[in-house]
């Protein structure tokens, strides 16, 4: 097998793992090969135990194909940096804000390193690392049980700490989001905590790269309140944004060429 075929099959596994499902038509269009080539690739990957075939496509064989924080930090870097720059511009001096764990919220913490007169509470290890030397920022860690894959704190201790504070703004990340069901995550522990975070905050922002819109890779969901803001990047298609706008969600599309 040639290098091109191996690279294509590696990409098929990656797409099926990150999106939860890959169809023959989508893979053919995205990878620039015929549907019959994709079907041969899927048959090979199934025989190797790397994918499970479905009608018209394939899905990852693992139950929860959750990417680690280290993997996610390198994905869509410019888009995430632009989203973070926009989010930082919404914060006012004197506010108390809450940062979720995740790569985009970590990028937001990076933007806040030189802020003054600001209180930042966070559940994310990477956000804490970014703010270690930020002497103008008062930092609170909502510690609890560490999820090693996401490098974020969850659980009863984190929930107890959260209950002692309220916030002007919360900036959340997500594995994916749909207009119908809200935030999708790998575990119910995560989705419960995100709902509690939203309940304690006056303004709610969900910071997500466009690839996460409309995806359903897992089965744990956090319901969104009536009012919240979706912040994504310019690679989002009108079709992916339409369901959110139809529900009255404030939608912000950030262009990496003009932010960051």
Give pLDDT tens digits along the chain (260 positions): 577 888 888 788 777 655 555 678 888 888 889 989 988 888 887 776 666 655 555 555 444 445 544 445 445 678 899 999 999 999 999 999 999 999 999 999 999 999 999 999 999 999 999 999 999 999 999 999 998 888 899 999 999 999 999 999 999 999 999 999 999 998 899 999 999 999 999 999 999 999 899 988 888 999 999 999 999 999 999 999 999 999 999 999 999 877 65
Q: What is the pTM of this model?
A: 0.74
| Alpha-carbon gap, residue 182 to 214, rounded angstroms | 9
Please, are residues 67 and 18 in contact by the beta-carbon 8 Å criterion? yes
């Amino acid at each position: 097998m040639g290098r091109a075929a191996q690279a294509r099959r590696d990409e098929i596994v990656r797409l099926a793992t990150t999106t939860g499902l890959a169809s023959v038509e989508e893979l053919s269009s995205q990878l620039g090969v015929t549907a019959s080539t994709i079907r041969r690739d899927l048959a090979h990957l199934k025989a190797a135990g790397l994918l499970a075939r479905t009608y018209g496509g394939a899905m990852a064989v693992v139950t929860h194909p959750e990417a680690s924080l280290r993997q996610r930090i390198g994905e869509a870097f410019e888009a995430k940096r632009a989203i973070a720059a926009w989010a930082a511009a919404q914060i006012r001096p004197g506010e108390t804000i809450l940062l979720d764990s995740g790569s985009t919220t970590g990028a937001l913490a990076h933007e806040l390193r030189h802020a003054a007169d600001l209180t930042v509470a966070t559940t994310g290890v990477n956000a804490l690392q970014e703010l270690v030397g930020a002497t103008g920022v008062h930092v609170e860690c909502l510690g609890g049980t560490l999820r090693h894959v996401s490098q974020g704190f969850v659980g009863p201790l984190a929930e107890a700490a959260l209950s002692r504070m309220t916030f002007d703004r919360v900036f959340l990340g997500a594995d994916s989001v749909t207009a119908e069901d809200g935030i999708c995550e790998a575990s119910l522990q995560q989705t419960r905590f995100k709902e509690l975070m939203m309940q304690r905050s006056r303004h709610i922002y969900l910071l997500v790269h466009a690839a996460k819109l409309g995806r359903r890779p897992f089965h744990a969901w956090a319901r969104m309140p009536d009012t919240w803001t979706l912040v994504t990047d310019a690679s989002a298609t009108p079709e992916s944004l339409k369901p959110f706008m139809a529900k009255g969600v404030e939608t912000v599309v950030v262009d990496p060429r003009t932010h960051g």
